Amino acid sequence: MRNKVTVVGAGNVGSSAAQRIVEKHLADVVLIDVVEGIPEGKALDLWESAPVEGYDCRLRGTRDYADTAGSEVVVITAGLARKPGMSRDDLLMKNYEIVRSVTEQVVRHSPDAILVVVSNPLDAMAQTAFRVSGFPKQRVVGMAGVLDSARFRTFIAMELGVSVKDVHAFVLGGHGDTMVPLSRYSTVAGVPITELLPADRVKALEERTANGGAEIVGLLKTGSAFYAPAASTFEMVDAILGDRKRVLPCATYLEGEFGVDGYFVGVPVVLGRGGLERVFEITLTDEERAAFDKSVNAVKELVAALPA
Ligand SMILES: NC(=O)c1ccc[n+]([C@@H]2O[C@H](COP(=O)([O-])OP(=O)(O)OC[C@H]3O[C@@H](n4cnc5c(N)ncnc54)[C@H](O)[C@@H]3O)[C@@H](O)[C@H]2O)c1
């Protein structure tokens, strides 16, 4: 039997993620939203592309959580997206209410699912889904680091005129302006970029990465990024369903690792069929540690603002 993935929120990120999942033959997809006609219409439209694209995964658009029952993975993209001038944190309370109610309904019908949270502010929404679901930490992960490091890889490849395929990058910390791109561990064909670029260029690429979301919001004006977020979400769902043991930066509930206890923060983890299988702990320099701690504090402030 084919895997079943529910995508909650049939907006830009959700429908694009659904498209990638079916086009890459990964799973059948249930697309669910609160707006009448949107999930139904988008799912049908996508399914009508199947004969042309040559996939036989099935899609269903719905507003009824009964249709999501028995999903192996549930991707939560429901919520409001950032508008120009709005920080991810402005979204906190509005999206808290949405993610809380979505999680309650999802877990009722798919008690064994792995939750992949995408809604912003990411780390606080992952914490919300974790608390409300009562799931073990292994089955709640947040998507941010894959996107942030994809952006960093893109900028490095642009700067050096090389293929993105040969560029690896790590970004740690919360998914906000305080995220920590780790240049020392970011490499082109194994060579750290700190040896390939002058320090001021490395810094400029790090800053562009940390502001990567805002850069797209500033250009689009009416919404936020979705192609790269959807691709990043796909990569995590694929790692889980394919039991690939991919080492990917994900927002993860830490219990002492990296000196953090009781919060979701982006760190490298091994992602497989069990969800979060292992945290990949790395040693930080004093400077990196200071930046990481600042980012963790930003996450803590948001979580402190959430209803208990
Ligand atoms: N983690 C990341 O790296 C990352 C990247 C991009 C976007 N995001 C976040 O993902 C979310 C979605 O972004 P988008 O661009 O797709 O926004 P969007 O506005 O296009 O789509 C959001 C969808 O959620 C739906 N929705 C609202 N309340 C709902 C509910 N209670 N149940 C089900 N659906 C509901 C809306 O009707 C809408 O269709 C936003 O919070 C955005 O900030 C996160």
Q: What sign results for the dihedral spanned by CA atoms 62, 128, 272, 183?
A: positive
Rounded distance between C-alpha atoms, residue 48 and residue 29, angstroms: 14
Q: What sign results for the dihedral spanned by CA atoms 233, 237, 242, 248?
A: positive
Can you give the pLDDT at residue 176? 83
Can you give the pLDDT at residue 89? 65
Indicate whether residue 10 lines ligand 1 (CB < 6 A): yes
Dist. CA 111 → ligand 1 center (Å): 23
Identify the residue whose C-alpha is closest to ligand 1 atom 20: 11
Across residues 37-50, what is the average pLDDT?
Answer: 98
Residue identified by tokens 């996508």 is: 46
Across residues 183-194, what is the average pLDDT?
Answer: 96
Indicate whether residue 163 lines ligand 1 (CB < 6 A): no
Across residues 39-61, what is the average pLDDT?
Answer: 98
Pocket test for ligand 1, best of 120, 128, 175 (most atoms within 8 A of CB): 120
Can you give the pLDDT at residue 298? 93
Q: How far is CA 114 from CA 24, 230, 266, in A?
A: 20, 17, 17
Q: Tell me the three state secondary structure of residue 4.
A: strand
Query: For residue 32, which atom of ligand 1 is closest to its CA?
Result: 33
Which tens digits make up the pLDDT trace of 201-217?
A: 999 999 999 999 999 99
Rounded distance between C-alpha atoms, residue 233 and residue 224, angstroms: 15
In sequence order, which residues have a C-beta less than 8 Å from that of residue 18 and are 6 or more positions away?
Answer: 7, 10, 29, 31, 42, 43, 46, 59
Dist. CA 256 → ligand 1 center (Å): 31
Rounded distance between C-alpha atoms, residue 146 and residue 228, angstroms: 9
Rounded distance between C-alpha atoms, residue 69 and residue 49, angstroms: 25
264 with 127: CB under 8 angstroms?
Answer: yes
Rounded distance between C-alpha atoms, residue 148 and residue 212, angstroms: 8
Across residues 33-62, what is the average pLDDT?
Answer: 98
Question: Looking at 25, 109, 168, 175, which residue is catalytic?
Answer: 175
Identify the residue whose C-alpha is closest to ligand 1 atom 3: 144
Which tens digits make up the pLDDT trace of 97-120?
A: 999 999 999 999 999 999 999 999
Can you give the pLDDT at residue 250? 97
**Has residue 219 got a pLDDT over 70?**
yes
Dist. CA 203 → ligand 1 center (Å): 31
- Outline where 176-278 has alpha helix (H): 199-210, 212-220, 227-241
Across residues 30-41, what is the average pLDDT?
Answer: 98
Which tens digits make up the pLDDT trace of 11-27?
A: 999 999 999 999 999 99
Share of the chain above pLDDT 90, in %: 90
Which tens digits make up the pLDDT trace of 123-164?
A: 999 999 999 999 999 999 999 999 999 999 999 999 999 999
Can you give the pLDDT at residue 80? 86
Across residues 56-83, what is the average pLDDT?
Answer: 94
Rounded distance between C-alpha atoms, residue 170 and residue 259, angstroms: 18
Indicate whether residue 143 lines ligand 1 (CB < 6 A): yes
Dist. CA 128 → ligand 1 center (Å): 15
Can you give the pLDDT at residue 91? 79
Indicate whether residue 95 lines ligand 1 (CB < 6 A): yes
Q: Which two tokens stand for residue 239?
A: 């790692």
Dist. CA 79 → ligand 1 center (Å): 4
Which tens digits make up the pLDDT trace of 241-269?
A: 999 999 999 999 999 999 999 999 999 99
Can you give the pLDDT at residue 32? 98
Cα–Cα nearest to 62, from 71, 53, 72: 71
**Has residue 88 got a pLDDT over 90?**
no
Query: For residue 147, which atom of ligand 1 is closest to its CA?
Result: 3
In sequence order, which residues have a C-beta less than 8 Å from that of residue 119 and are 6 or more positions away?
Answer: 9, 76, 77, 78, 79, 95, 98, 99, 125
- Check if 109 is active-site: no
Query: For residue 148, which atom of ligand 1 is closest to its CA?
Result: 3
162 with 194: CB under 8 angstroms?
Answer: no
- The rounded mean pLDDT for the chain is 95
Estimate the crossing angle of helix 227-241 against helix 12-23, to 10 degrees. 50
Rounded distance between C-alpha atoms, residue 106 and residue 132, angstroms: 11
Rounded distance between C-alpha atoms, residue 296 and residue 233, angstroms: 22
61 HSE (CA, 13 A, CB side): 23
Beta bridge partners of 168: 187
